[in-house]
Structure 1
Amino acid sequence: MENMALSKKQVKQLRALANGLSPALWIGKEGVSEAAVKQTEQTLDAHELIKCVVQDGGPVDAREAGEDLADRLGAQLVQVIGRRFVLYRASNKEGITPIALVRE
């Protein structure tokens, strides 16, 4: 899947939106497993913007996990803070309201 580049304004907008989100995905001692990839894909399709947490003692840090998932799923790694990271991917799933990204 082709990653679309986000502008600085769009990243800022997505960070602000992610601020109020509760984590939707936890990466545990298995790291970025196939199950985690599948769950992330389903959650991104349903929500477009998700916050994820890498649990203590996991084999990867938040940046590694976020970059790995973004690469595998054609998503954007929006933000990494501590053990948390935020992913964005536009969804074309019916029934969800897409995030209206600001234009440059």
Structure 2
Amino acid sequence: MITSKQRAYLRSLGNKLDSIFQLGKNGIENTFLKQIDEALEVRELIKITVLNNSDIDPKEASRIICERLGADGVQCIGSKVVLYRESTKKPKIELP
């Protein structure tokens, strides 16, 4: 669990990121979760766009992904979701 100060720091880093995943009509499948899991291990901080044709709203998508992958939801604004999980092999981001 991250503190509010750490969340604010991660939000500032997340503003500069481009979305690397799009969640659409297929929803959250195992292959989608596996790709997110691998990206979190490498990057630690990722941004996902939830498309309009998705049956899941961005907050619900963030909650489901965080539960299944042990990540922290940093931010959810509009259709964008920012997730963080510390890398087990090579941590890159130093939290305050």
TM-score relative to the length of structure 2: 0.95
Q: Which residue of 1 aligns with 2:77?
A: 81
Gaps of 5+ in 2: none
Q: Deviations over 1:25-78 (max 9, x none)?
A: 111101111111011001001100000011111110111111100000000001
2:26 is the alignment partner of 1:30: yes
What RMSD in Å do the two structures reach over aligned CA positions? 0.9
Aligned-pair identity (%): 39
- CA distance in 2 between partners of 1:26 and 1:35 (Å): 13
The within-5 A match list for 1:56-71 is: 56-71=52-67
Q: Which residue of 2 aligns with 1:98?
A: 92
2:59 aligns to what SS in structure 1? helix
1:23 aligns to what SS in structure 2? coil
1:9 aligns to what SS in structure 2? helix
Q: After the TM superposition, which of the residue ranges 9-18 and 85-94 deviates more from structure 2?
A: 85-94
Q: Which residue of 2 aligns with 1:15?
A: 11
Give runs of ≥4 in structure 1 deviating > 4 Å. none
2:74 aligns to what SS in structure 1? strand
TM-score relative to the length of structure 1: 0.88
2:48 aligns to what SS in structure 1? strand
- In the TM superposition, residue 93 of structure 1 has moved relative to its aligned partner by 2.6
What one-letter code is carried by the residue in structure 2 that aligns with 1:43? A
Q: Which residue of 2 aligns with 1:53?
A: 49
The number of equivalent residue pairs is: 96
